[in-house]
Amino acid sequence: MNQQTTNTLTLDVLKSSLAIEPLAVTLGNGIIDETDGYEEVGMRCHILSIDYEDSDYIHLKVSYAEFDEYNKAFETANYHDADGNACLYAREVGAYKTEDTLYVKIESLGSVITILELARYSLLQEFLADPAGATSYTDFLENKIFTLRAKLEGQ
């Protein structure tokens, strides 16, 4: 079993990190090859637990709940209507779940998930705690940028 992956994320690193708390991750390009569900590149989730029954696949129990607003920007209309047109979103057809299980080849783990940098995650936590009048996470981030830009220009 080859546990080394493209970004040096290994099963051992993942297990050690999860022993402390759920792990915030970003879904990478490999998610497209590994799943056929709701997940899209760039979405974020918490890995709640892992399980592996054989030497090839790992089962990642994930939660999208905390990143729900953030993930909306990555959703695509890839579910088909009655006429066969891919124009519906997972939420519209009842396929969206705040908790799910991803089945990923262990050798692909590094291309499927990247551990979220704490600095980026802290911005989301700040938004969730006090959105400061923002209507969305994007609006919140834009307000942060405008505030910082005004401070820099005022120096």
Residue with token string 């592996």: 52
Average pLDDT of the chain to the nearest whole number? 82
Q: Pick from 93, 19, 11, 25: which is nearest to 57 by CA? A: 11
Domain map (residue ranges) of the chain: 1-116, 117-155
Is 38 a residue whose pLDDT tops 70? Answer: yes
Query: Three-state SS for 93?
Result: helix
| 61 contacts: CB under 8 Å, gap ≥ 6 | 47, 48, 49, 50, 51, 99, 100, 101
What percent of the chain stands above pLDDT 90? 30
> What angle is formed at CA 75 by the lines to CA 73 and CA 76, rounded to 5 degrees?
125
Give the model's pLDDT for residue 149: 92
Question: What band does 120 get if pLDDT is binned at 50, 70 and 90?
Answer: low
- Beta bridge mates, 86: 80
Question: What band does 2 get if pLDDT is binned at 50, 70 and 90?
Answer: very low
What end-to-end distance do the CA atoms of the chain give, in Å? 56
Is 42 a residue whose pLDDT tops 70? Answer: yes
Lowest-confidence range among 5-14, 19-28, 52-61, 106-115?
5-14
Residue with token string 């994320």: 9
**What are the tens digits of pLDDT across the range 10-28?**
677 777 777 767 888 999 9
**What are the tens digits of pLDDT across the range 62-104?**
999 999 999 999 999 988 899 999 899 988 998 889 999 998 8
> What angle is formed at CA 29 by the lines to CA 24 and CA 30, rounded to 5 degrees?
90
